[in-house]
Amino acid sequence: MRLVPRPKSPVLQAEQIILFRVGGQLLAISSASVQEVRSVDSLAGAAAEIKDSGVKKVRHLLQREEQTLFVVNGTVHFGLPLVPGTLVFILRQTRTALLVDGIEKMTSMTQLQALPLAFCHEERLWYRGLTSLDQTVVPVVSPEGFLTAEELQVLEGTLAQRATAGAELAEGGLQA
């Protein structure tokens, strides 16, 4: 019994990707999805802590222009051993800033295989697919997969509550 020769995969244009680690796990993301890479230290003053966000993996907020971004701890998101993050990826066209261990390297991929259907849970949202690089299989993350619509709703609710509480505090201060 032999495998039938593999049908030719649709030839993809080379896509620039960033190989990075979260909780020691090697992952990839399209460079086009990353608007900015910042060190955690450089964000120390810009990030606000939000302890009870209602979403365990989000403990900090980042104010970027007129938008509030939610800092997702990659290790908590993927259920990996906690490793202190050193970098934050600000993801384009999302409300997510992703806390990661660090960048491994930048490279390009020419093939992206759909996640096999044997994987049938949240990972189908997490990954765009799998790619093989140098005889290694690397999952390519989906920038939209870090926060679900429900999680965003919870976070928005928490922000609204904070804003109301802040306004009441300010009002109380003025009256005093």
Partner 1 sequence: MSAATATELEVQSVVLLRLGDRRFGISANQIAELAAPSRIFKFPHRSPGVEGVILRRGRIVPVCEVAERLLGKKISARRFYLIARRRYNTHTEWVALPVTGECELINAEITSAGEHDAAHVAGWISHDGDVIEVLDVTALTTPLEARTDSVAEARP
Q: Please report how close the Cβ of residue 2 comes to partner 1 at its closest, in angstroms.
A: 6
Tokens of 174: 């003025």
For residue 24, which of 78, 66, 83, 76 has the smallest C-alpha distance?
Answer: 83
Do the strands 34-39 and 136-141 form a parallel or antiparallel pair, or are they unpaired? Answer: unpaired
CB of 57 to partner 1, least distance (A): 13
Shortest Cβ 21–partner 1 spacing (Å): 12
Query: Of 20 and 78, which has the nearer Cβ to partner 1?
Result: 78
Please identify, using beta-carbon distances, which residue of 41 and 134 lies nearer to partner 1: 134
In the complex, minimum distance from the CB of residue 139 to partner 1, in angstroms, rounded to a whole number: 5
**Rounded least distance, CB 74 to partner 1, Å:** 10
CB 48 within 8 A of CB 61: yes
Smallest separation (angstroms) from partner 1 to the CB of 101: 14
Alpha-helix residue ranges (DSSP H) falling in 5-148 = 74-78, 123-126
Alpha helices by DSSP H, the chain: 74-78, 123-126, 149-175
Task: Return the number of the residue (51 or 121) whose C-beta is nearest partner 1.
Answer: 121
* Strand segments (E) across the chain: 15-22, 25-30, 34-39, 47-49, 58-64, 67-73, 87-91, 96-100, 102-109, 127-133, 136-141
**For residue 24, how many C-alpha atoms fall within 13 Å in the half-sphere facing its CB?**
5
Binding site for partner 1 (CB under 8 A): 1-4, 6, 25, 27, 78-80, 113, 116-123, 126, 130, 132, 135-139
Q: Dihedral angle at the C-alpha atoms of 48, 93, 121, 106, nearest 10 degrees? A: -90
Select 21 or 158, whichever has its Cβ closest to partner 1.
Answer: 21
Q: Compare residues 7 and 173 and give the one whose CB is closer to partner 1.
A: 7
Residue number with CB closer to partner 1 (108 or 113) = 113
